[in-house]
Amino acid sequence: MLDTPARAARAFEEYFAGYEQDPIQILDRTFDETGSYEEMVILRGISFESHCEHHIAPIIGRAWVAYVPDGRVVGISKLARVVQVYAKRFQIQERMTSEIASAVQKALKPKGVGVILKANHHCMSSRGVQKIGSDMVTSCMLGCFRDNPISRQEFMAMVED
């Protein structure tokens, strides 16, 4: 175990690398050659690994990120990168959900943004109350996803269990 302190420090640098990255900058490059595409764009099932800020235990889950563009779209990998940046910080799931939605809203100024996260909290399974198999589901709906039930339903229908 002689090398463990240094190894653990390097691992923590990876776990929390998201503090060095700016989500708005990631979303900065947009494309307006959309061929007048106006419908919803959804990136489904983006896997993430985060750590809860209470126990520094893993939070393992998936994210669904949707937006309705208003004249411009972003490279689709950038949505996954934004999820990754916020995951690689100390988190609670509620804040991570709203941070992702706010970043997409701020950078793209779309007609609306929807974010759903489903995750297993290891602080609840490997310790403490020791409940395996329950996941936590959180959502943040902005713009038309908040105001228009049809947009919200269209998004929810794309989120498989």
Ligand X SMILES: Nc1nc2c(ncn2[C@@H]2O[C@H](COP(=O)(O)OP(=O)(O)OP(=O)(O)O)[C@@H](O)[C@H]2O)c(=O)[nH]1
Cite the annotated binding site for Zn(2+) by residue number: 52, 55, 123
CA–CA gap between residue 96 and residue 80 (Å, rounded): 13
Residue 133 beta carbon to Zn ion: minimum distance, rounded to whole angstroms: 17
Q: Answer yes or no whether residue 60 interacts with ligand X by CB under 6 A.
A: no
Alpha-carbon distance 154 to 66, whole Å? 10
Among 17, 43, 80, 92, binds ligand X (CB under 6 A): 92
Provide the minimum distance between the beta carbon of 27 and ligand X in the complex, in angstroms, as a whole number: 24
Residues in the chain: 161
Residue among 26, 27, 40, 52 that touches ligand X (CB under 6 A): 52
Q: In terms of CB distance, is 48 or 155 closer to Zn ion?
A: 48
Q: How far apart are CA 159 and CA 64, in angstroms?
A: 7
